[in-house]
A and B are shown apart, each in its own frame.
Chain A
Amino acid sequence: MNTQQQDLLGLRFMRLGMLALSAGLLVGVIGGFQFLFPEFLRELLFTKTRPLHVSLVVAWIFLAAIGGIYFYLPRQRKLKLASYRAVSWHYWIFVVTGLAIIASFLAGKFGGREYLEYPVALSIPIFLSWIIFGVNYFRTVRKEREPWPVYYWMWGTGIVFFFITYLEAYLWVIPYFRDNMVREIMVQWKAYGALTGSWNMLVYGTALYVATRIAGDDKPARSKLAFSLFFLGLFNLMFGWAHHTYLVPSLPWIRTFAYAVSMTELLILGKILWDWRASLESWQKNRYCSAYRFLYAADIWIFINLILALIISVPAWNLYTHGTHITVAHAMGSTIGINTMILLASVYYVLREELPQKVRDGCAGQVTLGFWLANISLGVFFLALIAAGVGKFMYDGPSFQEMMASIRPFLLLFAVSGIGLMVGLWIVLWHAYRLMGTILAADRPVDVKLGLPVGAD
């Protein structure tokens, strides 16, 4: 492998992530229709589709964020990675463990808690891969001569905290934790809140990186505002989880505290992106048209999600919204609207930089179509989930079935707009997947006789 190829290893993570997202979208749509028609694909029960969906889309978030870090450091920040072999190991551990997790879900072998429902043994390679990643990351950024921009801090913190909280999510394996139901739920949901917080660190770091590169100015990543975002995120990572656990019996001060600390983080990120947009010249917007648009969309979704998050963070209202589809609106609204849009901006930024001949100024028609289809569908999807949640807490009767029947129109709207979202994102992903493939192919050593890259098909 030559240096050139080594520097492109991150793109393999990104491409794998795109595959995971494409599959995860399909499984999500199947799950959405199973709500309406329980007989639909009975062989693939909802007990399988739900964890498959969540694992695949979360894998996308990780792969795209990790791929970006492995790519940007050596290729653009000129920091040679400490170990390229470690990157390959990381990649293959991800592939093999991922396939094993998918196989165990399909076979109906469950052994974990919600969201981590695969057999416990599979968490071991996952732990291992984060150690490999973390060591490589810190050994690499240590070589930076300038003071660290905020995204280095965010990435590093995301990695360390992911490791800690993932460990914590497995505390139930110890009888002390699982023998007390309330203790177990508290620990579990605290861990999940913090897990989300730690991947947000990876993603927000990516957002700031791409934004500063497009603007050609590193200042926003060294500003006080950016560092306050980092410290708030860190604080939320450590304490903001508690908005997940309002309803479990607990000390009231914990609730009050959680209420006080949640959500300020989003507000600052929204503000940074807002200022960044205002600072751009029109040629910059045009040059990085697709990446710019995805970041723009993320900014809008940040504010929309912030409003919902603030509402459901008021404990007195959380009492009603908790345990309804409003929670799902919050979860998917932010993982799609914010995380996915930011990571797609990162993907399209890479394409523009690496393929200056192929990807011109302005937005390609196909991407524009996919972009709008996905975002408009997401709007409908989000509203339909909220409406279903409101329907559930407004229903005042004893029958679960009757309640479900009353919100059926919203669930139908949810499932149908889910198709639009899936198709829109598929268009965007397919375009990017192919182009990224040409970057990787062009970099293979050329076979002199055929004049083709070795192994090109």
Chain B
Amino acid sequence: MPISPAADRGRQLYQEHNCVACHQFYGLGGYMGPDLTNVISNRGAAYARAFMAAGTQAMPNFNLRDEELDALVAYLEFVDKTGTYPPENFEVKWYGVVAQEDDPR
């Protein structure tokens, strides 16, 4: 799935602000904040936007403009569609290997 220009802008912002120091995608990243892979499906875009707009006690407020928030939401929507984390429908084989629903077949 190709990335849209808005999501691409969001990805840049994610990189410039180094969100990865505190957040993970697919469990990869720093551990101060929650994993964001499926934050859009699980919590909704408005919820994610509110966090990014205001910050919390633990998450800094980056003073993002409306247009930047839109881009970050578009990026999180893009990531959300790439898969599920943690895997929900999976099968553990007898030898310990896991097969997931999202695996390419």
Judge whether A319 is part of the interface by a CB distance below 8 angstroms.
yes
Residue of A nearest to B83 (CB): A249
Report the bound CA distance from A319 to B97 in whole Å.
10
Measured between beta carbons, the chain A residues less than 8 angstroms from B32 are: 34-35, 46
Residues of A within 8 A of B (CB): 34-35, 38-39, 42, 45-48, 50-51, 108, 110-114, 117, 178-182, 185, 188-189, 244, 246-252, 255-256, 259, 314-319, 322-325, 327-328, 400-401, 404
Report the bound CA distance from A88 to B37 in whole Å.
45
Residue-by-residue, is B21-64 near A (CB-CB < 8 Å gives 1, otherwise 0)?
11011111111111100000000000000000000011010000
- From known contacts A38-B58, A316-B98, infer whether A117 and B18 are also in contact, taking CB-CB under 8 Å: yes
Report the bound CA distance from A5 to B96 in whole Å.
56
- Pick the residue among B11, B17, B33, B85 that contacts A110 (CB under 8 A): B17
Residues of B within 8 A of A (CB): 1-3, 11, 15-22, 24-35, 57-58, 60, 78-79, 82-83, 85-87, 90, 92, 95-100, 102-104
* Cβ-defined contact, B103 with A315, below 8 A: no
Report the bound CA distance from A248 to B28 in whole Å.
10
* Cβ-defined contact, B79 with A181, below 8 A: yes
List 15 other contacts, CB 8 Å, given A181-B25, A323-B35, A401-B58. A39-B57, A42-B60, A111-B15, A114-B20, A179-B2, A180-B1, A185-B26, A249-B82, A315-B96, A315-B98, A316-B92, A322-B27, A325-B31, A327-B27, A400-B33
Measured between beta carbons, the chain A residues less than 8 angstroms from B1 are: 180
* Cβ-defined contact, A246 with B24, below 8 A: no
Report the bound CA distance from A45 to B29 in whole Å.
16
* Cβ-defined contact, A47 with B17, below 8 A: yes
- From known contacts A315-B97, A315-B98, infer whether A47 and B18 are also in contact, taking CB-CB under 8 Å: yes
Q: How many A-B residue pairs have CB under 8 A?
A: 116
Measured between beta carbons, the chain A residues less than 8 angstroms from B25 are: 181, 185
Report the bound CA distance from A21 to B92 in whole Å.
42
27 contacts between A and B (CB under 8 A): A39-B57, A46-B21, A47-B18, A50-B21, A51-B18, A51-B21, A108-B18, A111-B16, A114-B28, A180-B1, A181-B78, A181-B79, A185-B25, A249-B102, A249-B103, A250-B104, A252-B103, A255-B98, A259-B96, A315-B97, A316-B97, A316-B98, A317-B96, A319-B98, A323-B27, A328-B31, A404-B58
Measured between beta carbons, the chain A residues less than 8 angstroms from B104 are: 249-251
Residue of A nearest to B11 (CB): A178
What 5 A-B pairs are tightest by C-beta distance, nearest first?
Answer: A323-B27, A249-B102, A47-B18, A181-B82, A400-B34
- Pick the residue among B15, B29, B82, B83 that contacts A112 (CB under 8 A): B15
Measured between beta carbons, the chain B residues less than 8 angstroms from A259 are: 96-97
